[in-house]
Amino acid sequence: MPASLAAVKRRIDSTKSTRQITAAMQMVSTAKLNQIQHHTTTYQVYADKVKSILASLVKSHAIDSMGANNGMGSLFHPRDVKKTGILVITSDRGLVGSYNSSIIKATLDLMRQKNLTAENTVFLTVGRTGLDFFKKRGMNVAYEYTGVSDVPTYTEVRDIVQAAVSRYQNGEFDELYLAFSHYVNRISSEVITEKFLPISATDLIDETPAEQAADALPGAEYEIEPSVEEFVEMVVPQYAQSLIYGSILDAKTSEHSSSSNAMSSATDNADDIIGTLQLQYNRARQAAITTEITEITGGMTAQE
């Protein structure tokens, strides 16, 4: 076999091997996506119920009596912002298309909008990609968490929530933003950067005009046992966990979707390359055969 034909044949075989790998990775990512979507859907019911309970406390002014330094009640009281915390959720690995770059770009855009620098920003990172990116640029990474499972469990977020809330209460930063990729559907996602702390009553009470009109009417008074303070101390951590766990579930869903789409594109590109190389190989082989026939014919003519 001529050298040129052998080189093209090696490229075809190599591309076919790559295609097998990307096709298998696409199948794995799709299976993970289907699995986590079930968890995300069922968990959202719980998260909505916790939010509803906390919204009822806010609307009844049960939390107003709790001071800015009173346990979990402090999470509702804004203060002068000297430092801003950003909890960035990225993946631990690559091969996920533009998933990580979109999150990092949105985080940098947030920093520009709020005039944030390495001196007045504290990062909490979930995922190795974000950790490596901001550490290499000299940012203050006060907390890092890597190795999030493909379908995160509720217990996994407890350390993350505790780190975020305790650092806010200790004054390491005066507000905290979440930056993560929100899963829209199997072909698209969008990056969300939203404020997590202090908890906003406006965000909790997201009502239609009809509901707002109903709230303007005299309503029932709440009697809470054993006390408002103890009830808030129980509900607020659950609400914080529901937000962060929900964000991580959402981010992981988006990650699996991005990985599936990236591997699908890679597989399609491999098919295109194989087709082009196969056409190139056939043409070169045909040319080689034609040359051999011409040489044989010329030799026979010379003998005659």
Task: Report yes or no on 69 lying in a domain.
Answer: yes
Domain presence at residue 20:
no
pLDDT of res. 298:
65
Mean of all residue pLDDT scores within the chain: 81
Torsion of CA 107, 112, 118, 120, to 10 degrees: -100
Question: What pLDDT is stored for residue 228 in this prediction?
Answer: 66
pLDDT for res 141 = 92
This prediction has a pTM of 0.80
pLDDT in tens, 188-206: 888 999 988 888 777 676 6
pLDDT per position as a tens digit, 163-174: 888 888 888 898
Residue 14 CA to residue 11 CA, distance in Å, equals 5
Closest CA to 222 of 213, 231, 214: 231
* Residue 16 included in any domain: no
Give percent of the chain above pLDDT 90.
Answer: 19
Q: Return the half-sphere exposure (C-beta side, CA atoms, 13 A cut-off) of residue 38.
A: 6
Cβ(106)–Cβ(191) under 8 Å?
A: yes
What is the average pLDDT across 81-97? Answer: 90
pLDDT confidence of residue 214: 43
More confident site: 17 or 75: 17
Identify whether 158 is part of a domain: yes
Alpha-carbon span 55 to 154, nearest angstrom: 22
pLDDT reported for residue 132: 92
Q: What is the mean pLDDT of residues 252-277?
A: 89
pLDDT at 180 over 90: yes
User: 302: burial class by Cβ within 10 Å (0-12, 13-18, 19+)?
Assistant: exposed
Confidence of residue 125 (pLDDT cuts 50, 70, 90): very high
In a domain, 19, yes or no: no
* pLDDT in the model for residue 222: 56
What integer pLDDT is reported at residue 238 of this predicted model? 78
Q: How many domains does the chain have?
A: 1
End-to-end CA distance of the chain: 29
Between residues 51 and 57, the one the model is more confident about: 51
**Residue 256: how many CB atoms within 10 A of its CB?**
27
Is the per-residue pLDDT at 16 higher than 50?
Answer: yes
Q: What is the CATH number of the domain that holds 136?
A: 3.40.1380.10
**249 or 302, greater pLDDT:** 249
Compute the distance between CA of residue 248 and CA of residue 172 in angstroms, rounded to an integer. Answer: 23
Question: For residues 89 and 248, what is the distance between their CA atoms, to the nearest angstrom?
Answer: 7
Q: Looking at 21-25, 183-187, 294-298, which range is the least confident one?
A: 294-298
Domain that holds residue 73: 26-262
CA distance 253 to 186: 9
Which of the two residues, 1 and 102, has the higher pLDDT score?
Answer: 102
